Amino acid sequence: MITLKNIVKAYDGKQAGNKAVDGLNLEINKGEFVALLGPSGCGKTTTLMMLAGLLKPTAGEIYFGERLVNHVEPKDRNIGMVFQSYALYPHLTVRDNIAFPLRERKIPKQEAYARAKETSKILQIDHLLDRKPSQLSGGQQQRVAMARALSKNPEILLLDEPMSNLDARLKLDVRDEIRKIQLSLGVTTIIVTHDQEEALAISDRVAILNGGKIQQYAAPHELFNYPINLFVASFLGSPPMNLVDGKLEDKSGDQVVVTDGFEYKLPEDKILDRTYMGKTIKFGIRPHDLVVCDKNDNQAIPMKVDLVEHLGSGKLVKVTDTQGKLETMIRLLTDNEKEIQPGDLIYIKVKANKFHLFDMTNNGQSI
Ligand code: ATP
């Protein structure tokens, strides 16, 4: 198990200064695949560099199992690492690139080559062993970098945006391959990425970072369905969650979300503690949790269609309330069968219990 305890990193070395990582706690189980995900500058790479031993924490402790590794050199940490740039040695063949970490450990050439061959078979690049990196495609270079990282059987594999140089199609294949190899070898893996789809697709758990702090650390489906706060809710999901300003009110016994453009009565099984009444909130609904319904449906909300975007698999429809009072457009996803044009009046409703409430008087915490 890897444990990060109250990790702080201030590049100027002063704890009181600007912290790239600010009191980060994280536990990663043996064999787990964990993604560090967040916007640019949130501290992902800094965290990975501390795990690798390339940066020292300003405060806090890093344990690999029971062993405190804060002062252990990178070469003594038993990690493999793949960078965004792959950082292959251009003058060396694929074979020598893969064997490099073994040769560094003074493993005899013959044995190092034999192991390089073995690893190259797992990654299906054994036919490329005599080539130089410049004679390889981007996807092949990526695999060589993976093979090099795995050749010394590391306990931990660290991946820093390893797919960002690949085109969209190849990215999908490579990410599946990385996950397959990781599962078959059982190597504990930590990936840094700003691509949420990638993180959610291949990880057991994802840590969402913002401002050097972990916002939520959970399995992908949990992050998506039960975001802990407004940041996680708005960061995850494409198209993003609709977030409408509102207030919680008690209206003759019913609890109602009141917004500028519509009202939504909370269902019986979602009744809140009375202390929430009167609070300023954000009402969140994901675009696929809104459906077009019949005018006579008792939950129908009338909306005017502003824009229709064709996505291929369906349509993204952007609507506003009929009075034009809402500040933002609301997005919903529909199938291609529905004939919807800009200017149409349609009726929409929220799928049963598929909404989120965020307490704006408490830093956007989920209610
Ligand atoms: P990105 O996705 O853009 O790579 P990131 O989440 O990996 O971002 P980090 O590279 O860890 O973010 O940076 C976190 C913060 O630390 C940023 O504010 C960044 O400007 C700052 N930072 C990073 N490296 C240094 C450095 N060598 N010296 C000073 N500040 C740094």
Q: What is the pLDDT of residues 125-162, one digit of tens each?
A: 999 999 999 999 888 898 899 899 998 889 999 999 88
Work out the burial of residue 189: count CB atoms within 10 Å of its CB; fewer than 13 is exposed, 13-18 middle, 19 or more buried. Answer: buried
- Do 195 and 297 lie in a common domain? no
Please tell me the predicted confidence (pLDDT) of residue 327. 87
Q: Which of 235, 256, 282 is the last residue of a domain?
A: 235
Average pLDDT taken over every residue of the chain: 92
Please tell me the predicted confidence (pLDDT) of residue 104. 87
Calculate how far, in angstroms, residue 161's C-alpha sits from the geometric centre of ligand 1.
14
Ligand 1 atom closest to Cα of residue 194: 2
Ligand 1 atom closest to Cα of residue 45: 7
The CB-side HSE value for 240 (13 A sphere, CA atoms) comes to: 12
Dump pLDDT digits (tens) for 42-70. Answer: 999 999 999 999 999 999 999 999 999 99
- Do 321 and 227 lie in a common domain? no
Identify the CATH number of the domain in which residue 352 sits.
2.40.50.140
- Do 221 and 262 lie in a common domain? no
- Do 293 and 360 lie in a common domain? yes
What ipTM was predicted for this assembly?
0.96
Identify the CATH number of the domain in which residue 19 sits.
3.40.50.300
Phi, psi dihedrals of residue 364, rounded to the nearest 5°: 75, 20
Q: Which of 235, 261, 285 is the last residue of a domain?
A: 235
Give the pLDDT mean for 298-326. 92
Which strands sit side by side in the sheet containing 2-10, from one edge to the other? 19-28, 2-10, 59-64, 67-68
Please tell me the predicted confidence (pLDDT) of residue 171. 83
- Do 75 and 191 lie in a common domain? yes
Dump pLDDT digits (tens) for 172-219. Answer: 888 888 898 899 889 999 999 989 999 999 999 999 999 999 999 999
Among protein residues, the one whose CA lies closest to atom 17 of ligand 1: 41
- Do 259 and 156 lie in a common domain? no
Among protein residues, the one whose CA lies closest to atom 9 of ligand 1: 43
Q: Percentage of the chain surpassing pLDDT 70?
A: 99
> How many distinct structural domains can be found in the chain?
2
H-run or E-run covering 247: strand 242-251
| Containing structural domain, residue 227 | 2-235
Dump pLDDT digits (tens) for 94-127. Answer: 999 999 999 988 899 999 999 999 989 888 899 9
86 pLDDT higher than 80: no
16 pLDDT higher than 90: no
Calculate how far, in angstroms, residue 26's C-alpha sits from the geometric centre of ligand 1.
19
364 pLDDT higher than 90: yes
What pTM was computed for the model? 0.90
Pocket of ligand 1 (CB under 6 A): 11, 20, 38, 40-46, 194
Please tell me the predicted confidence (pLDDT) of residue 42. 94
Among protein residues, the one whose CA lies closest to atom 19 of ligand 1: 41
